[in-house]
Every structure is written in C-alpha cells, then in structure tokens.
Amino acid sequence: MFIDLADGGRALATLVAPLLTPDTVVVSAGVGGLVTGAAVATALGIEVTPLIAHRSESGVSVTIPLVVIGLRVVVVDDGVETGTAARAAGVALRAAGAVHLVLAVPVCPREAEVELRNRYDDIVAVDRPLVRRSLRWHYTTFA
C-alpha cells in the first residue's frame, strides 16, 4: 500500500531508472498520472511530459504534446483500474510513431496486464495484485 500518489511515484522511480536510454522520453497519463509522474521526475532528475487526455461519450482520447517518432516512450500513470487511460495513451503513441512503449505504474492487476500487453511492449509495476480493485484501495490517501 502506498501513502499517496507521490509515494507510488517514488517507488516506481526505481523501476523506471533502468529503462532510461538516450532515445527514451517519459510521459504521464491521466489526472493521477500527473502527480505520480512528477514524483518519478523528481526522484530521477528527469523531465516528464504530461499527455493531454480528453474524455467524451465515446471514451478517452489523448493528445501528445511532443514528437515521439522513432522513440522509446515510458508512460507513467497512477495505476491501472479499468485500463482506459493506458489503452488510449498506447494507441495515440503508436499512431504518433513511438517504436517501443512501456507502461510504468505503481499498481497493475495481473488480469488487466494481459489485455494491456496488446498495446505495450513492456509493463513495469511495483504491485501486481491478482484481481482488479479500485485504485483507492492501494493508497492511504488517493487525491
């Protein structure tokens, strides 16, 4: 269990550090991903660019505010509950030309990971519970 989203990001930073190469960019997805991504950025002394998510009746779409053609992209989020934001980010980044996608989250249920492997080359997570639960369950303070 994590204290809060920043605590999840600090724990995640140790898994993200070995993934960083000169051709890697790190982005954050979702509202909670902004806080988690900022904690990863601070812990590693790197820049994390927020993706811009748009929610509509048809789901979530993502705008990418940087060029990712030919790059390896690490997507940081606060965790996977339904996987909606992670799927949308993966689709948008592939369409924008990213060559290797990594999803990095504090929490990724194993049952959700199976479907997300269709979108991502690698998934790193601090905690991989067997079943999905509300993300609030994994954080003392979820705000």
CATH code: domain of residue 35: 3.40.50.2020
Q: What's the confidence (pLDDT) of residue 59?
A: 79
What proportion of the chain, given as a percentage, has pLDDT over 90?
76
Which range of residues forms the domain containing residue 75? 5-138
Average confidence (pLDDT) over 127-140: 88
Q: b/e per residue, 102-139, with b = 16+ CB within 10 A?
A: bbbbbbbbeebbeebeebbeebbbbeeeeebeebeebb
pLDDT above 80 (res 63)? yes
What proportion of the chain, given as a percentage, has pLDDT over 70?
100
Residue among 115, 46, 34 nearest 78 (CA): 34
Average confidence (pLDDT) over 38-64: 91
Strand segments (E) across the chain: 24-28, 48-50, 52-56, 59-63, 72-76, 100-107, 122-127
Greater pLDDT, 43 or 30: 43
Total tally of structural domains belonging to the chain: 1
Q: Please report whether residue 68 resides in a domain.
A: yes
pLDDT above 90 (res 55)? no
